[in-house]
Amino acid sequence: MNETTRSTYALTVALLLGPALGHAADSAPSPIAQSSSGSAAAMAKAVTPQAPTLSKSDDYKDPDLWARIRSGYAIPDIDNALVAKHIQWYASRPDYLTRTSSRASLYLYHVVQELEKRGMPTELALLPVIESAFNPQALSNADAAGIWQFVPGTGRDFNLKQNMFKDERRGVLASTDAALTYLQRLYTMFGDWQLALAAYNWGEGNVQKAIQKNRALGKPTDFESLSELMPAETRNYVPKLQAVKNIIANPAQYGVVLPTIDNTPYFVAVDKTSDIDLAVAAQLAEMSVDEFKALNPQFKKPVITGESTKILLPKENAEKFNLNLAQWGRALSTWTTHKITSARESIASLAAKLGTTPEVIRQANNIPPQMRLKAGSTILVPKTSATAGNDIAESIVENASMVLEADRGESRRSGHRLSGAQRIRASAAHAVAEIKSRVSRGSRPAVNANGRKRR
């Protein structure tokens, strides 16, 4: 697409970053299964000479990224009733394909480029259509997040940082690298892309067991022969990708008009050397906060921490960012952290001491009403003159956690009893907070013998 069209996509993408809609939402894929053996570093060494030699991206002349993807198809096709069913579903929903393409336009060039660097089939760039509809904010019931839908434990296995300040499962660069490394490992394990994809969805342990069962019966062990042993979601997983692949290969055959996506990089990575408020970064880049978040969805707090942290910006906005940063002359960050040392320290008393309001602290830390902080919790608070020049230490970023409890005691002491509805809301908020706190502390789900996480 031309630059005007692409800018329009970027301006509208924030409206499209709600939960993945339509087909992807109605049949949310299972989280990526945890690898049963081998370290992430060993996985990264896997060599996958399965795709044809592709032109270097700098030499690729076709202006349409869809055409570039078609040229690198290398996974054997399947043709069955499930493929036809899913083709009909996608082709009959042009609005859904347009929304998904709009989101994809920000990330797809990078994904294709990374696939080509590794010599991998380029139709794998379409897998996030199935996983998340290219929505980096997509979150499954099993807590799988991002366009590639990593669960917390598998994300940690592939060095995706998850702490109070960021979740790299949502970040485009880190999650794409992790997903492609995992897919390479699965292909090396099974020697078959369709089985590798089934394992990505179902878990390699389950696929291995299915292969062993068919071998013992003298039956074939290809994807379609094993599909009757798979749950419905996995049985449909590869046919869904095949359906999208077919539509991209020949959209006119199915009455589909694909929005053009330029075969040029959408973003560049910009280094930052100190803490910076997310709103300030967006202002320096001359972007709205929603546009900025669309490219940087991994940041969970109003401040972006870390000396080596990169932010993604469209090239033109990156130039504006650097120019405006050189002339800024003010504090880049207005946030620091505070550790609750006593159960008697309330959000209200802390806000009064810092010259802010309880609402500001609750909003910055996503603390629900009728909930209070337990001692030992670390939270984000506005800077004061005493902390104005200090960045948040990396040790705090990596280890901070927040634990909440229902605020029943303070309500009674103040003479206000919670109503029945308030007690129900507080209990629900407490349950959610406990789950979030366990995740932020780095708890890992149990793993069964098949390599899948137990929920």
> Which residue among the candidates 123, 131, 168, 204 is catalytic per the annotation?
131
Q: Which of these, 120, 143, 207, 218, lies nearest to 445 by C-alpha position?
A: 143
Q: Is the dihedral of CA 253, 255, 256, 257 positive or negative?
A: positive
Is 305 exposed, middle or buried (CB count within 10 Å of its CB: 0-12, 13-18, 19+)? buried
Terminal-to-terminal C-alpha distance of the chain: 43
Lookup result for tokens 């002359």: 329
Question: Within the chain, how many helices (H) and strands (E) appear?
Answer: 21, 8
Structure tokens at 408: 């029943």
From residue 138, alpha-carbon distances to 17, 55, 109, 234 in Å are: 8, 33, 20, 19
CA atoms of 61 and 10, how far apart (whole Å): 24
Q: Which of these, 373, 364, 377, 293, lies nearest to 335 by C-alpha position?
A: 364
| Coil/strand/helix, residue 117 | helix
Q: Is the dihedral of CA 291, 297, 302, 304 positive or negative?
A: negative
Q: Which of these, 379, 385, 390, 382, lies nearest to 356 by C-alpha position?
A: 382
Q: How does 85-120 read in b/e, with b if 16+ C-beta sit within 10 Å?
A: ebbebbbebeebbebbbbbbbbbbbbbbbbbbebbb
Q: Which of these, 25, 176, 174, lies nearest to 108 by C-alpha position?
A: 176
CA atoms of 155 and 139, how far apart (whole Å): 14
Q: Which helix (H) or strand (E) segment is 373 a member of?
A: strand 371-373
Total number of residues shown for the chain? 455
Structure tokens at 97: 């394909």
Structure tokens at 345: 């320290």
CA atoms of 439 and 151, how far apart (whole Å): 11
Is 131 noted as a catalytic residue in this protein? yes
Lookup result for tokens 């270097």: 56
CA atoms of 129 and 24, how far apart (whole Å): 8
Q: Give the gyration radius of the chain's Cα atoms.
A: 24
| Residues designated as active site | 131
